[in-house]
Amino acid sequence: DTEVTQTPKHLVMGMTNKKSLKCEQHMGHRAMYWYKQKAKKPPELMFVYSYEKLSINESVPSRFSPECPNSSLLNLHLHALQPEDSALYLCASSPHPSSGSSYEQYFGPGTRLTVT
Amino acid sequence: AQTVTQSQPEMSVQEAETVTLSCTYDTSESDYYLFWYKQPPSRQMILVIRQEAYKQQNATENRFSVNFQKAAKSFSLKISDSQLGDAAMYFCAGEGAQKLVFGQGTRLTINP
């Protein structure tokens, strides 16, 4: 199984709502990532989890809150978002967080988020 | 890689022809990995090809091959016998500290 799954596929939320994005992988990977991607742009890294611990936070606003309950699951909790946060949110995983071909990341299909 | 640059925002090619996408990068490391990712309109990013910097031989995956020039810090992707399904955004990426550094992408159009 070389798949990263993400739910939901689409999400529309108001600026006062609280919602969560979910990402799951069953490849035994020990690094998981959240990216934000705007149209026609490369993915922008938000967070990295290594061995279920947060290792990188790319100065992301606190209205985005990541969580890694176990080695297969990654959540992104959303609260009080702004319209400019509307984007495609991608999850990825890789076998290990550092060195060599471990940087090969497997991406999920993404969640299309619209903030109204 | 500290920086990755793709200088071609858009490219187009006739079906069955060959096209080359350019990528340059900057790094202070002597050993590293470089990648080309493809993101079709359906949006799922998939790995096309990977190159290990210490290997002299250019990587090849079926119709996809790279021209890796380590001294010039150049990593171009050649697609042979282009097919309609090759239409996508292509991102060049290099390894950074626990993360990938992406170029800005090249949108490839295949003309039938």
Rounded CA separation B17/B14 (Å): 6
3-state SS assignment for residue B22: coil
Q: Which residue has the tokens 């071609």?
A: B8
Residue A2 confidence (pLDDT): 64
Segment A6-36, tens digit of pLDDT: 999 999 999 989 999 999 999 999 999 999 9
Per-residue pLDDT at A101 exceeds 90: no
B5 has a chain A CB within 8 A of its CB: no
Mean pLDDT of chain B: 93
Query: What number is the average pLDDT over the span A69-95?
Result: 95
Per-residue pLDDT at A77 exceeds 90: yes
A31 has a chain B CB within 8 A of its CB: yes
Q: Are B37 and B4 in contact (CB under 8 A)?
A: no
Nearest-CA neighbor of B79 among B15, B9, B1? B15
3-state SS assignment for residue B85: helix
Mean pLDDT of chain A: 92
Q: How far is A10 from chain B (nearest CA, A)?
A: 13
CA B88 to chain centre: 12
**CA-based radius of gyration for chain B:** 13
Residue B43 confidence (pLDDT): 72
Rounded CA separation A33/B34 (Å): 18
A113 has a chain B CB within 8 A of its CB: no
Termini Cα distance of chain B: 36
Per-residue pLDDT at B42 exceeds 80: no
Question: Which residues of chain A lie closer than 8 angstroms to B46, CB-CB?
Answer: 107
B30 has a chain A CB within 8 A of its CB: no
Report CA torsion sign: B2, A40, A102, B82: negative
Per-residue pLDDT at A98 exceeds 70: no
Q: Is the Cβ pair A48, B99 closer than 8 Å?
A: yes
* Residue of A103, A104, A105, A106 for testing the chain B interface, max B β-carbons within 10 Å: A103
Query: What number is the average pLDDT over the span A50-75?
Result: 95
A50 has a chain B CB within 8 A of its CB: yes
Q: Which residue has the tokens 């606003």?
A: A61
Letter string b/e over residues B36-53, b meaning 16 or more CB atoms within 10 A of that residue's CB: bbbbeeebebeebbbbeb
Instruction: Report the alpha-carbon angle A10-A11-A15, nearest 5.
Output: 155
Q: Is the Cβ pair A104, B47 closer than 8 Å?
A: yes
Segment A32-44, tens digit of pLDDT: 999 999 998 999 9
B36 has a chain A CB within 8 A of its CB: no
Q: Is the Cβ pair A107, B103 closer than 8 Å?
A: no
Q: How far is A7 from chain B (nearest CA, A)?
A: 14
Segment B48-98, tens digit of pLDDT: 999 988 888 999 999 999 999 999 999 999 999 999 999 999 999 998 777
Length of chain B measured in residues: 112
Per-residue pLDDT at B1 exceeds 80: no
Give B59's DSSP letter: P
Nearest-CA neighbor of B66 among B35, B39, B44? B35
